[in-house]
Amino acid sequence: MTSACYAAITLGSNSFNMMVARTVSHQPKIVAKYKRKVRLAEGIEADGSLNLSAMTRGIDCLAMFADMLKKEGVSADNVEIIATATLRKISNADVFCQQAVKVLPHPIRIISGIEEAELIYQGMAATTAGSGRRLVIDIGGASTEFIIGDGNKVLLKTSLTMGCVTFNHSFFNQFPLQSSDFDHARRNVESVLGDYQQELISLGWQSVVGASGSVQSVVELLSARGESTDITLDVLQQLKQEILMQSSASMLGINGLKPERAPTFAAGVAILLALFELLNIETLHLSGGALREGILHQLAQRSS
């Protein structure tokens, strides 16, 4: 007997994503993926509200997801919608949720940064080979989660207010970019890390795993160039130099960079570069999964 399909939908600050899966041998098997770059965090106004343009982009995406749920045959009981940093932050999240339910009639659960970190670690652990103590870094659009764990045991988890969309707006919005833009971003990362910098270093790790679009964009670029997909400080410093040579936000001169990754690429590289330097990271590998996979595994347990 074939198990029923279920869907995990995440409303991030950069992208909205939907994964549809069914349970096979007690594990979720993904049968469809949908994604749209909504860049919700770009629409946060000075008064803390989300503007109409960003809200409309989000609602339009959810309408598309609703159509795809019908197409995939996912019942209303088997849908989980999780919202992260931007909807945690904005003053009119209730307005967004009221509009959303009109096109996608499922409740939206706005989770805390700590809950997000926990789900990210679960998703990583379920999908990524390896053992020993691991540092997991998930750079989102408006927040970055840090988790240190060993097997299924989480030793530290936190969510800090830095992300590729918000950093892009603050530090990387005027081309050509300058080396000082990266310096400003690094100082901000150091400030936001605060006491966690020493706490993370003190706990230590055997390997570092990265999740999110920022890490994915670098890995995709390296893969397109036929190079090792291990991210190192040398790789990031080289990418910084390539970014500084670009005359426009399209970054057409960077070989292997996908056009949809370009708008937040500089900010993502800057955050990664700062973290490598501040936390003495040698090598970072891409995670097999993160937040969405963590949600799918919860849904799989619920449906089994």
DSSP for 79-114, written as a single string: EEEEE-HHHHH-TTHHHHHHHHHHHS-S-EEE--HH
- Residue with the larger pLDDT of the pair 228 and 130: 228
Domain boundaries along the sequence of the chain: 6-113+291-303, 129-286
% helix, strand, coil for the chain, step of 5:
50, 25, 30
pLDDT greater than 70 at residue 26 = yes
Instruction: To the nearest 10°, report the CA torsion of 221, 223, 229, 234.
Output: -50
**What's the rounded Cα separation, in Å, for the pair 142 and 135?**
20
What beta strand segments (E) does the chain contain? 6-11, 15-24, 27-37, 79-83, 108-110, 133-139, 144-150, 153-160, 207-211, 231-232, 283-286
Q: What is the pLDDT of residue 304?
A: 59
Tell how strand 108-110 and strand 79-83 pair up. Answer: parallel
Joined together, the tokens standing for residue 96 give 């967004």
Residue 219's alpha-carbon distances to 46, 140, 251, 274, in angstroms, are: 34, 16, 17, 18
Query: Angle, to 10 degrees, between the axis of helix 213-224 and the axis of helix 233-244?
Result: 90
Instruction: Answer yes or no: same fold for 6-113+291-303 and 129-286.
Output: yes
Tell how strand 15-24 and strand 27-37 pair up. Answer: antiparallel
- Residue with the larger pLDDT of the pair 200 and 126: 200
Let me know: does 220 contact 235? Beta carbons within 8 Å: no
Q: What count of Cα atoms within 13 Å lies in the side-chain half-sphere of residue 52?
A: 0
Q: What is the pLDDT of residues 265-303, one digit of tens each?
A: 999 999 999 999 999 999 999 999 999 999 998 888 876
**What's the rounded Cα separation, in Å, for the pair 17 and 54?**
16
Q: Which residues pair with 157 in a beta bridge?
A: 147
Nearest to 236 by CA among 260, 212, 217: 217
Q: What is the pLDDT of residue 212?
A: 85
**What's the rounded Cα separation, in Å, for the pair 302 and 282?**
39
Q: What is the pLDDT of residues 201-214, one digit of tens each?
A: 999 999 999 998 89
Q: Which residue has the tokens 């159509």?
A: 67
Cis peptide before 28 (omega within 30 of 0): no
Let me know: does 110 contact 159? Beta carbons within 8 Å: no
Q: Which class would CATH give 6-113+291-303?
A: alpha beta
Query: What's the chain's average pLDDT?
Result: 95
pLDDT greater than 70 at residue 1 = no
Percent of the chain beyond pLDDT 90? 90
Q: Which class would CATH give 129-286?
A: alpha beta
State mean pLDDT over 231-240. 98
State mean pLDDT over 22-51. 93
Instruction: Kindly report the number of other CB atoms within 10 A of residue 220's CB atom.
Output: 17
Residue type, 273: L
Nearest to 249 by CA among 237, 235, 259: 259
